[in-house]
């Protein structure tokens, strides 16, 4: 098989080739040059940001014939063997497959022998969070005071599952997500190297989809190249990766804000017809809504519209003008739907139900005036109530509000009166009222209790 | 190209292109609704890769390799998960032990074909331990290894697994494509066409409905649902009870599919009376029943049930809840 996935082919082999994680690289380099290398490290961070890669480079740096050096030679037997993955003194262990106490016991037996050829005996334990409790405990003593020639490097995506007792015995480095810019740069380098032609926007769309993971970005690009060939544009990326472009979302946004349920549903059907999965569609729309909301709230802030082109911005501003509260509700609904769609057996149904619910909000389009009226009704009784409550604390019967649950009603109103600044208070209240209406709609859902059959 | 697979022409082209341009990776995730042919496509693709006489995107179908592949006895093929190999129908989870055995399988080079091939059907059934044990080998398997993971609930797979695979999304099938499959199974053209339309894009559902008992159940169930959604007071309980009594044990899964299609139809019609529905033979009644509030409540009730792991809830409580909720 001649083809090697990009993420494997372009796995960095030296600190210089590595993209991002400068804080980690600097610390490790300094540790080597000043001769203060610890005996146990833990690398944590999301998938595909370079944990295993850095572990291997660090092993090389420590065991290089000309080392320890921050710039391993890549030519000596040790460097070459680590690159090939068969170095005799560097053991890479899959913590998820060898997770029991027996695996750790046999590891401890090998530790007692000094390295066969190289300077250090290095144990890289990947996915270390999957070790069992017993295995972790069996490791504690060794980890605290290993022989001088032993180094441990742990890598994990879930540091919270690693016990405190382990944590306190290692130096921990958190790997960060990569920025879109960093990913684009790396992709550019790869495209140049493979003589692939891609527009800047195309690579940007790939980088956005990767959500900070270089491996994701590289496998997505593999996918695009294998379908579109050696030159591709943004539109082709959208088609291959099956992500909806902005025009779908702007249409859906407009339809939902203007009570056009039928149109809204057609937008979804069309996207599905183009092979976009309901899950990616609804997730994309939730992201779109949050970006649109920040644009509506702060139209003049340069940062709030970066996701859109000028034409798109104008269109969003025109459609959403004076409907910020409604957009907020849409966001609520679709964030929930995006979340549900991940694990639901019925992703189609999740999206359609969200669209239908959102279209019901159309009847609340006049929300601003309702709220103004409420505001007017509220202000007087609230004043008298707070006046009264000062001399005689709580006992007063609040018959004026006619509410069956005065204790919950009061803090709301008190809040409104103590904060006369209309803007923020109003918005907060607006949200309260509106979410109350939504929860009334939700109240129709019956909760089914488990019952023995 | 892979002519035994109906529909999915874009995906077939993608797979064949990958091979022809020598860009085939080592791990793919086939995701998409149940019963649209994901695992079948994977097996056909494996056959194509292994067949020594394959041409123009087609395996020859005659040679020893093709035949052992068809019997699932090919030595370079390893299958995990329920639904494909006999004896695994009721498998609920894929365990770490199976993943360890898989490691042994791929450590030896291929014996007959160019690849060692692994199919993990319903990959979301892997336990957390199993999924984690797969990570390393999924990222850097020995050369000439090809993984295809198949799942209708790929959102339930850990992100660390998804990140190591190239995703391929399978959409629903067109009614005509389903009808084609049914006809090849000996269903008459008229009936195949009709079943194709009411199967909601899933061959599996169409095949189930082609059995008379299942079809009768569908008619009865939809009737009770429509009745229940209109009924008042105690009549709702009656409708729910009748619905449950109508469910043959064998078709419990089908009930949830029918509920899903019914909920989608209600929603669609409530938003657009002219929308294309799955249960087209009940269109008039669905139109009468569909108000947006009712449709949303029914859908949310069903989603809630799903979240609570349908199989552990008493069927009766579930159905009563659904119909009551839709009726407030």
Write the CATH number for A317: 1.20.272.10
Residues near A374 by Cβ (< 8 Å), separated by ≥ 6? Answer: A433
Q: Count of domains in chain A?
A: 4
Per-residue DSSP letters for A277-312? -HHHHHHHHHHHHHHHHHHHH-TT-GGGGTTS-HHH
- For residues B147-158, b (16+ Cβ closer than 10 Å) or e, as one string? bbbbbbbbbebb
Q: Are residues A45 and A166 in the same domain?
A: yes
Looking at residue B194, what is its pLDDT? 92
Q: Are residues A78 and A137 in the same domain?
A: yes
How crowded is residue B97: how many other Cβ atoms within 10 Å of its Cβ? 11
Q: What is the pLDDT of residues B139-174, one digit of tens each?
A: 888 888 999 999 998 888 998 898 888 888 888 899
Query: Could you tell me if residue A164 is inside a domain?
Result: yes
Q: Are residues A232 and A304 in the same domain?
A: no
Q: Are residues A214 and A347 in the same domain?
A: no
DSSP state of B141: P
Does B292 sit within 8 Å of A1, measured CB to CB? no
- The strand pairing partners of B27, in sequence order, are B147
Confidence of residue A401 (pLDDT cuts 50, 70, 90): very low
Query: Within 13 Å, how many C-alpha atoms sit on residue A361's CB side?
Result: 31
Pairing type for strands B77-80 and A40-44 reads: unpaired
* Mean pLDDT to the nearest integer, B197-201: 91
Give the minimum alpha-carbon distance from A81 to chain B in angstroms, rounded to a whole number: 16
Mutate to test the interface with A, among B161, B300, B319 (most CBs of A within 10 A): B300
Calpha distance A65→A76 (Å, rounded): 6
Q: Judging by beta carbons within 10 Å of its beta carbon (0-12, 13-18, 19+), is residue A265 exposed, middle or buried?
A: buried
Query: Measured between CB atoms, which of B133, B166, B167 is closest to A96?
Result: B133
Q: What is the pLDDT of residues B15-34, one digit of tens each?
A: 898 888 888 888 999 998 88
If one compares A264 and B328, the residue with the highest pLDDT of the two is: A264
Does B307 sit within 8 Å of A344, measured CB to CB? yes
Mutate to test the interface with A, among B38, B137, B267, B273 (most CBs of A within 10 A): B267
Residue range B9-169 in CATH 3.40.50.300: yes
Residues of B in contact with A450 (CB under 8 A): 308, 312-314, 317
Sign of CA dihedral B303, B306, B312, B314: positive
Q: Are residues A161 and A195 in the same domain?
A: no
Residue A189: strand, helix, or coil: helix
What percent of the residues of chain B are helix, what percent strand, and what percent coil, each to the nearest 5?
A: 55, 10, 35
Residue A396: strand, helix, or coil: coil
Does A447 sit within 8 Å of B163, measured CB to CB? no
* Mean pLDDT to the nearest integer, A41-70: 90
Q: Is the pLDDT of residue A360 over 70?
A: yes
Q: Are residues A83 and A127 in the same domain?
A: yes
- Which tokens go with A350? 């999740």
Task: Give residue A50's domain range.
Answer: 9-174
How crowded is residue A431: how many other Cβ atoms within 10 Å of its Cβ? 14
Q: Are residues A277 and A289 in the same domain?
A: yes
Q: Are residues A137 and A285 in the same domain?
A: no
Q: Are residues A237 and A268 in the same domain?
A: no
CB A243 within 8 A of CB A284: yes
What are all long-range contacts of A298-303, with beta carbons under 8 Å and residues at least 24 apart?
Answer: none
pTM of the model: 0.76
With pLDDT > 90 as the criterion, what percentage of chain B qualifies? 41
Q: Is the pLDDT of residue A155 over 90?
A: yes
Query: Could you tell me if residue A359 is inside a domain?
Result: yes
Q: What is the pLDDT of residues B71-103, one digit of tens each?
A: 999 999 999 999 888 888 788 899 999 999 998
Q: Is the pLDDT of residue A452 over 70?
A: no
Residues counted in chain A: 453
Give the minimum alpha-carbon distance from A447 to chain B in angstroms, rounded to a whole number: 7
Q: Are residues A380 and A338 in the same domain?
A: no
Does B325 sit within 8 Å of A446, measured CB to CB? yes
Query: Measured between CB atoms, which of A223, A229, A356 is closest to B267?
Result: A356
Domain end among A145, A174, A203: A174
Query: Measured between CB atoms, which of A5, A349, A447 is closest to B303?
Result: A349
Q: Are residues A131 and A67 in the same domain?
A: yes
Tell me the pLDDT of chain A averaged across its residues. Answer: 79
CB B144 within 8 A of CB A1: yes
Q: What is the pLDDT of residues A265-301, one digit of tens each?
A: 999 998 888 878 898 899 989 988 988 998 888 888 7
- Which tokens go with B278? 């799955």
Calpha distance A273→A261 (Å, rounded): 18
Query: Could you tell me if residue A26 is inside a domain?
Result: yes
Looking at residue A367, what is its pLDDT? 57
Angular region, A200: left φ>0, alpha ψ -120 to 50, beta rest: alpha
The position carrying tokens 């001399």 is: A391
Looking at residue A426, what is its pLDDT? 53
Give the residue among B247, B243, B286 at the shortest CA–CA distance from B264: B286
Q: Are residues A267 and A208 in the same domain?
A: no
Query: Could you tell me if residue A391 is inside a domain?
Result: no
Enumerate residues 28 to 47 of chain B having a beta carbon within 8 A of any beta carbon in chain A.
Answer: 31-33
Residues near B295 by Cβ (< 8 Å), separated by ≥ 6? Answer: A353, A356, B263, B266, B267, B269, B270
Residues of B in contact with A126 (CB under 8 A): 135-136
DSSP state of B278: S
CB B300 within 8 A of CB A384: no
CB A236 within 8 A of CB A220: no
- Is the CB of residue B324 less than 8 Å away from at least one CB of chain A? yes
Q: What is the separation of C-alpha A219 from the centre of its chain, rounded to a whole number of angstroms?
A: 18
Query: Could you tell me if residue A133 is inside a domain?
Result: yes
Give the minimum alpha-carbon distance from A299 to chain B in angstroms, rounded to a whole number: 32
Residue B95: strand, helix, or coil: coil
Residues near B78 by Cβ (< 8 Å), separated by ≥ 6? Answer: B102, B105, B106, B116, B117, B118, B119
- Rounded to 10 deg, the angle between the A133-144 and A101-111 helix axes is 20
Query: Within 13 Å, how many C-alpha atoms sit on residue B196's CB side?
Result: 20
Looking at residue B254, what is its pLDDT? 87
Query: Could you tell me if residue A398 is inside a domain?
Result: no
- Per-domain boundaries in chain B: 9-169, 211-325
Q: What is the pLDDT of residues A98-149, one digit of tens each?
A: 888 888 888 888 888 988 888 999 999 998 998 999 999 988 988 888 899 9
Helix (H) or strand (E) holding A418: helix A406-418
Give the residue among B22, B14, B29 at the shortest CA–CA distance from A194: B22
Looking at residue B120, what is its pLDDT? 96
Query: Could you tell me if residue A206 is inside a domain?
Result: yes
- Which tokens go with A38? 């610890």
Write the CATH number for A85: 3.40.50.300
């Amino acid at each position: 098989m001649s083809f090697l996935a990009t993420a494997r082919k372009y796995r960095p082999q030296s600190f210089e080739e590595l993209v991002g994680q400068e804080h980690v690289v600097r610390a490790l380099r300094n540790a080597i040059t000043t001769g203060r290398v610890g005996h146990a490290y833990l690398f944590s961070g999301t998938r595909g940001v370079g944990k295993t890669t850095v572990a291997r480079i660090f092993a090389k740096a420590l065991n290089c014939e000309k080392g320890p050096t921050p710039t391993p030679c890549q030519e000596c037997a040790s460097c070459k063997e680590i690159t090939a993955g068969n170095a005799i003194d560097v053991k890479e262990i899959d913590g998820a497959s060898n997770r029991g106490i027996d695996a750790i016991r046999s590891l401890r037996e090998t530790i007692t022998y000094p390295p066969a050829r190289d300077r250090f005996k290095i144990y890289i334990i990947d996915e270390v969070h999957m070790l069992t409790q017993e295995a972790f405990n069996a490791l504690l003593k060794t980890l605290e005071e290993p022989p001088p020639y032993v180094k441990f490097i742990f890598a994990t995506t879930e540091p919270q599952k690693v016990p405190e007792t382990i944590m306190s015995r290692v130096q921990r480095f958190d790997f960060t997500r990569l920025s879109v810019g960093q990913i684009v740069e790396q992709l550019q380098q790869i495209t140049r190297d493979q003589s692939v032609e891609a527009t800047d926007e195309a690579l940007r769309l790939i980088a956005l989809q990767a959500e900070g993971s270089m491996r994701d970005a590289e496998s997505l690009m593999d996918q695009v190249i294998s379908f579109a060939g050696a030159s591709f544009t943004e539109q082709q990326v959208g088609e291959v990766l099956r992500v909806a472009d902005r025009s779908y979302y702007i249409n859906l946004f407009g339809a939902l804000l203007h009570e056009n349920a039928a149109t809204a549903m057609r937008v979804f059907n069309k996207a599905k017809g183009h092979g976009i999965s309901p899950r990616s569609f609804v997730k994309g729309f939730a992201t779109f809504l949050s970006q649109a909301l920040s644009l509506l709230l702060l139209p003049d802030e340069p940062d709030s519209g970066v996701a859109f082109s000028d034409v798109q911005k104008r269109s969003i501003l025109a459609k959403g003008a004076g409907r910020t509260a409604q957009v907020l509700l849409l966001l609520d609904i679709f964030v929930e739907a995006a979340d549900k769609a991940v694990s639901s057996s019925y992703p189609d149904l999740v999206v359609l139900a969200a669209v239908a619910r959102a279209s019901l909000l159309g009847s609340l389009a006049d929300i601003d005036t309702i709220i103004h009226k409420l505001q007017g009704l509220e202000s007087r009784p609230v004043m008298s109530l707070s006046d009264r409550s000062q001399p005689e604390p709580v006992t007063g019967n609040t018959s004026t509000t006619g509410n069956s649950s005065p204790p919950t009603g009061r803090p709301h109103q008190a809040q409104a009166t103590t904060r006369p600044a209309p803007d923020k208070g109003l918005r907060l209240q607006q949200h309260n009222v509106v979410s109350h209406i939504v929860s009334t709609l939700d109240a129709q859902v019956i909760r089914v209790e488990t019952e023995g059959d | 190209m892979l002519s035994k697979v109906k529909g999915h022409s874009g995906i077939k082209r993608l797979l064949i292109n990958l091979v022809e341009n020598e860009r085939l990776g080592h791990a793919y995730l086939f995701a998409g609704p149940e019963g649209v042919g994901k695992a079948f496509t994977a097996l056909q693709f494996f056959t194509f890769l292994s067949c020594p006489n394959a041409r123009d995107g087609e395996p020859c179908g005659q040679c020893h390799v093709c035949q052992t592949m068809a019997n699932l006895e090919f030595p370079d093929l390893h299958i995990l998960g329920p639904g494909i190999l006999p004896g695994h129908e009721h498998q609920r989870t894929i365990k770490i032990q199976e993943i360890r055995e898989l490691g042994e399988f791929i450590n030896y080079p291929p014996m007959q074909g160019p690849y060692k091939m692994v199919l993990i059907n319903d990959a979301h059934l892997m336990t957390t331990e199993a999924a984690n044990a797969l990570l390393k080998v999924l990222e850097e398997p020995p050369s000439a290894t090809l993984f295809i993971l198949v799942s209708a609930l790929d959102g339930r797979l850990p992100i660390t697994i998804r990140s190591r695979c190239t995703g391929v999304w399978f959409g629903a099938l067109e009614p005509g494509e389903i009808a084609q499959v049914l006809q090849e199974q000996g269903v008459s053209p008229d009936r195949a066409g009709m079943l194709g339309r009411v199967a909601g894009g899933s061959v599996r559902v169409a095949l189930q409905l082609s059995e008379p008992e299942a079809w009768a159940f569908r008619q009865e169930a939809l009737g009770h649902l429509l009745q229940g959604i209109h009924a008042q007071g105690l009549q709702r309980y009656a409708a729910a009870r009748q619905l449950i009594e109508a469910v043959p044990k064998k078709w419990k899964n089908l009930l949830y599919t029918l509920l899903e299609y019914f909920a989608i139809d209600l929603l669609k019609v409530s938003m657009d009376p002219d929308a294309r529905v799955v249960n087209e033979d009940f269109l008039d009644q669905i139109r009468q029943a569909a108000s947006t509030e009712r449709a949303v409540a029914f859908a949310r009730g069903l989603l809630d049930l799903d979240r609570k792991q349908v199989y552990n809830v008493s069927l009766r409580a579930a159905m009563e809840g659904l119909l009551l909720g839709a009726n407030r």
